[in-house]
Amino acid sequence: MRVAGYTLLALVIGFFGGWAVATSAAFRYMDAANVFDRDGGGAMGAFFIIGPFFGLIAAIVAAGITAVRMLRKDLTAPLGAKAPSTGASVLLVAIVAAVAVYLVAWFIIELGGPYGLEGAAKPLAEDGIPALFGLAAGIGAWAIGRRRGA
């Protein structure tokens, strides 16, 4: 029952978090590209189409990750052992991931928007962004592995 409760919580938080991140990124893109939305169609599309779509994707991913991690912890625990409390850490990871996705989307929009880079800085940024993501993922995996090993 605990796994189902946290999975449902991750589903709801993932949906509304993904909706908020995607909608705010779409609004940020419209602002950066100087989109003049007289009738409000772009804003309605961002809020009622783009936001829920990415919210649904984020909800499915968050619920799947939460269910798999919690079931894996339950399977590896000895019989009769009390399961560790992971509710706050899962919520913290979800919040940090949503903020990181928003900031990355904001950065990519700024690179492709009206303030885009030109000249020698453009290939450096285009090649450097994936390298920084890979480096950050590697450092994060190393830190998690070190924390679990210690």
Q: What is the pLDDT of residue 32?
A: 76
The predicted-structure confidence for 23-65, as pLDDT tens digits, reads as follows 988 888 888 778 888 888 888 988 998 889 988 888 888 888 8
Give the predicted TM-score (pTM) of the model: 0.54
Burial of 134 (0-12, 13-18, 19+ CB in 10 A): exposed
Rounded-to-5 percentages of helix, strand, coil across the chain: 80, 0, 20
Q: What is the pLDDT of residue 48?
A: 92
The predicted-structure confidence for 68-117, as pLDDT tens digits, reads as follows 888 876 666 566 666 555 555 666 666 666 667 666 666 666 666 555 66
